[in-house]
Amino acid sequence: MRTIAHAAALLATLCAAVPAARAADESLDRTLVHQSLSPAANVVNVALRNDLGVGLYHKERTSNTTWLEPSFPTAIFGGGWILAHRVHLPLVWQPVVVARTGGTYGLAGLRYEMLLAPVTSGAWSGGLGFGLQFPTESDYTIGDHKWAAGPSGALSWSRGAVHAGVAATQLWTYASSGGYPTVDRLTLEPTLSLDLPAGFYLLSAPSVVADWKRPAADRWTIPVGGGVGKVFAPGGTRVALTLQGYWTARGPTESWTTQHPYTAPPDWTVRAGIALLFAR
């Protein structure tokens, strides 16, 4: 009887431990996903995403940009603060938008941001720093071909299943060569996510751009949309998969794109991503 009682107690302990372990895993998944959406978070995020642009200009061409975007923190001041580093390396397929065939594939301008941020376990997190752009373009038809720099910052809020935040970087040309236009551009990255059961989550993370050199009517490019993500842990490593779609709700006017056809945004963007997440 004592053996049966011990076995029953062990079984009851195991039955209680499994839901507790599952809850702990889901809590870690939620925390890592929320942190991965904030550029100032204390998490290592090795991300790869692909933006497929559909409906470019009058010929309805298709563009493609593959982004390698690693981000990682370095601890300073005894670990109470971090320097959050984020790199954007784009490989671009740029079609000839005034024809039905032809285009160029190559490297666009490398971007880097570094934010100084406090390490916090509260609902709010954020940081301030700077952004840089380097003229790493491999072809004259791709990118800005300018050295640029400016302020950068991020602010985010998480509570329960909800995460919201925004990152902003303003870049100005500080050195250049050739006859390419100067850079005076603001990039806003708002994020909103809602956790669902079984590691799924809803996500909206568009890239909103304001080019201050253009007339007011042609300045803003604003995509609207979102998608779904799923986090899982093969071999103990958290992996986040995302699939999103965005419609360009606002872009430059037709009169502007007629004169500058390569500035026309796509009608739709399909974004797929994968990220490896490592807790600190």
Q: Within a domain: residue 18?
A: no
- Greater pLDDT, 246 or 10: 246
Q: Within a domain: residue 10?
A: no
pLDDT tens profile 240-279:
999 999 999 999 999 999 999 989 999 999 999 999 999 8
Does pLDDT of 219 surpass 50? yes
Q: Which tokens in the block code for residue 21?
A: 């372990």
Q: Within a domain: residue 178?
A: yes
Provide the domain limits for residue 94: 30-279
> How many helices and strands, by DSSP H and E, does the chain display?
2, 14
Q: Within a domain: residue 260?
A: yes
**pLDDT bucket at 21, cuts 50 / 70 / 90:** very low
Q: Within a domain: residue 195?
A: yes
Q: Within a domain: residue 141?
A: yes
Burial of 234 (0-12, 13-18, 19+ CB in 10 A): exposed
Q: Within a domain: residue 275?
A: yes
* Alpha carbons 29 and 76: distance in angstroms, whole number: 26
Burial 118-140 (b: 16+ CB within 10 A, else e): ebeeeeebbbebbbbbebbbeee
| pLDDT given at position 16 | 45
pLDDT tens profile 38-68:
999 999 999 999 999 999 998 999 999 999 9
Which residues have C-beta within 8 Å of that of residue 280, sequence separation ≥ 6? Answer: 42, 43, 44, 73
If one counts the domains in the chain, the total is: 1
Does pLDDT of 7 surpass 80? no
Cα-atom radius of gyration of the chain, to the nearest Å?
A: 22
| CATH value at residue 122 | 2.40.160.40
pLDDT tens profile 102-119:
999 999 999 999 999 999
Question: In this structure, are residues 91 and 109 in contact, taking their beta carbons and an 8 Å threshold?
Answer: no
pTM, rounded to two decimals:
0.88
| pLDDT given at position 199 | 94
Q: Within a domain: residue 15?
A: no
Burial of 99 (0-12, 13-18, 19+ CB in 10 A): exposed
